């Protein structure tokens, strides 16, 4: 979504951009004197006041009843975001201290998701959502079924993004040999295929493979159960590390804070919120663009996580419309780039 920018002169664009930039930093309503003192020293206060009046009439700013100053509207923020992302040179310094060990301590997919969510939330100081909206695109690299004791079975599924594992009780008698044999059969069939293929079960296989699979159908069902449990449990991961800062923002009263909390606690709302368009890019939704009245004063900045050309997830940050867009976008871009570099086949 973009603005009809030709209606803005270069001076209006410069004034609007600098005014919003300062408002983001200090949360102070924009006045002509403030703009003159901070940015446009060569213009008179009267000229700046006229320009601010014009920007208000165009819908980029609105006047507060409690102050002589103005604050940005969603349309104003949209202009600012588009200009910022178009001209921004994403900086890497903000993540140098965490990039090296982002994946070093674990191969568990759950812990990798936890790590990414925590890093983004820590660096942006706002709540972060990690949504598996492309879970079925994960590629199977190995399947291991390990018999434990008392009919307990450990199912380990290595994927191109990390390991999925769980210990579950088997229905009926399953032996160690069943598990070993099934591991070999499943690895031969499923390695290199995506989760979607695996989830489509044995109906896709030829009759000869079906006959082979039938012998291990109970074990195969355990694999599917682990995937289903994992997906339902880990479909979305919310890091609330920056929640206090969000709720302390002057834009939010108690009711608005409760609205945000209710969205963060609802998988369906998060699923709608984290939807991204095709392509590897930063997406910013502002106010009503979120299609959720509970987030009418919020900005959602999100980016797809791409592995081997397929989207497997979306990571996003929720904050006030007065959020530092350039910094948050930089963090998201660097994190998603790091995921590609570390996990993509053939990557460095």
Question: Which tokens hold the place of 284?
Answer: 């910013």
Q: How far is the first Cα of the chain from the last one, in angstroms, to the nearest whole number?
A: 35
**115: nearest Cα among 135, 101, 96:** 101
pLDDT tens for 13-40 read 988 988 898 888 888 888 888 888 877 7
- For residues 207 and 182, is the Cβ–Cβ distance under 8 A? no
**Confidence (pLDDT) at 347:** 45
pLDDT band at 278 (very low <50, low <70, confident <90, very high): low
Residue 2 has pLDDT above 50, yes or no: no
Question: Which tokens hold the place of 313?
Answer: 């997830």
**Confidence (pLDDT) at 56:** 92
| Angle value at C-alpha 285, between 324 and 32, nearest 5 degrees | 50
Average pLDDT across the chain, whole number: 81
Residue 346 has pLDDT above 50, yes or no: no
**Confidence (pLDDT) at 144:** 92
- Quick check: helix, strand or coil at residue 183? helix
Residue 208 has pLDDT above 80, yes or no: no
Place of tokens 């079924």: 145
Residue 292 has pLDDT above 50, yes or no: yes
Residue 127 has pLDDT above 80, yes or no: yes
Residue 1 has pLDDT above 60, yes or no: no
Residue 301 has pLDDT above 90, yes or no: yes
**In the chain, pLDDT over 70 holds for what percent of residues?**
84
CA distances from 285 to 26, 277, 326, 346 (A): 22, 12, 14, 33
CA atoms of 328 and 235, how far apart (whole Å)? 23
**Confidence (pLDDT) at 308:** 80
pLDDT tens for 36-78 read 887 777 888 888 889 899 999 999 999 876 567 888 999 999 9
Buried b (16+ CB within 10 A) or exposed e, 91-112: eeeebeebbeebbeeeeebbeb
pLDDT tens for 86-121 read 766 555 555 565 565 565 556 788 888 888 888 888
Helix axes 109-124 and 217-234, enclosed angle (nearest 10): 10
- Quick check: helix, strand or coil at residue 31? coil
**Confidence (pLDDT) at 299:** 93
Rounded to an integer, the average pLDDT of 267-283 is 80
pLDDT band at 348 (very low <50, low <70, confident <90, very high): very low
**Confidence (pLDDT) at 286:** 92
CA atoms of 307 and 344, how far apart (whole Å)? 6
**Confidence (pLDDT) at 75:** 92
Residue 242 has pLDDT above 80, yes or no: no
Consecutive H or E run containing 176: helix 176-190
Burial of 346 (0-12, 13-18, 19+ CB in 10 A): exposed
What is the separation of C-alpha 290 from the centre of its chain, rounded to a whole number of angstroms?
Answer: 14
CA atoms of 157 and 159, how far apart (whole Å)? 6
Q: Give the global pTM.
A: 0.79
**Confidence (pLDDT) at 101:** 54
Rounded to an integer, the average pLDDT of 190-205 is 76
**44: nearest Cα among 32, 56, 31:** 32
- 310-320, strands of its sheet edge to edge: 236-239, 128-131, 310-320, 298-307, 283-286
The answer for residues whose C-beta is within 8 angstroms of residue 313's C-beta and 6 or more apart is 113, 130, 131, 132, 133, 134, 135, 304, 305
**Confidence (pLDDT) at 38:** 77
């Amino acid at each position: 979504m973009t603005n009809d920018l030709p209606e803005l002169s270069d001076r209006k664009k410069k004034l609007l951009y600098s005014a919003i930039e300062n408002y983001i930093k200090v949360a102070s309503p924009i006045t002509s004197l403030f703009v003159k003192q901070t940015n446009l020293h060569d213009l008179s206060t009267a000229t700046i006041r006229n320009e601010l009046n014009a920007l208000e009439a165009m819908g980029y700013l609105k006047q507060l009843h409690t102050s002589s100053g103005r604050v940005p509207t969603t349309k104003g923020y949209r202009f600012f975001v588009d200009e910022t992302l178009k001209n921004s040179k994403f900086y890497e310094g903000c993540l140098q201290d965490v990039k090296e060990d982002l994946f070093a301590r674990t191969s568990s997919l759950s812990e990798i998701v936890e790590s990414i969510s925590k890093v983004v939330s820590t660096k942006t100081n706002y709540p972060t959502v990690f949504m598996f909206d492309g879970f079925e695109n994960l590629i199977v690299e190995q399947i291991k079924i390990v018999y434990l004791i008392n009919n307990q079975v450990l199912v380990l599924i290595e994927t191109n993004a990390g390991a999925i594992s769980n210990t579950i009780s088997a229905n009926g008698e399953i032996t160690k040999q069943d598990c070993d044999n099934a591991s070999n059969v499943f690895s031969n069939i499923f390695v290199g295929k995506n989760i979607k293929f695996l989830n489509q079960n044995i109906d896709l296989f030829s009759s000869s493979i079906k006959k082979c699979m039938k012998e291990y159908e109970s074990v195969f069902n355990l694999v599917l159960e682990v995937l289903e449990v994992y997906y339902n449990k880990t479909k979305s991961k919310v890091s609330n590390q920056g929640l206090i800062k969000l709720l302390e923002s002057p834009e939010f009263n108690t009711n608005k804070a409760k609205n945000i909390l209710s969205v963060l606690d609802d998988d369906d709302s998060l699923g709608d919120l984290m939807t991204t368009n095709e392509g590897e890019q930063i997406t910013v939704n502002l106010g009503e663009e979120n299609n959720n009245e509970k987030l009418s004063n919020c900005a959602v900045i999100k980016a797809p996580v791409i592995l081997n050309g397929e989207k497997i997830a979306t990571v996003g940050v929720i904050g006030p419309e007065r959020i530092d867009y350039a910094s948050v976008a930089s963090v998201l871009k660097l994190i998603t780039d790091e995921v590609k570099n570390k996990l993509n086949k053939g990557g460095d």
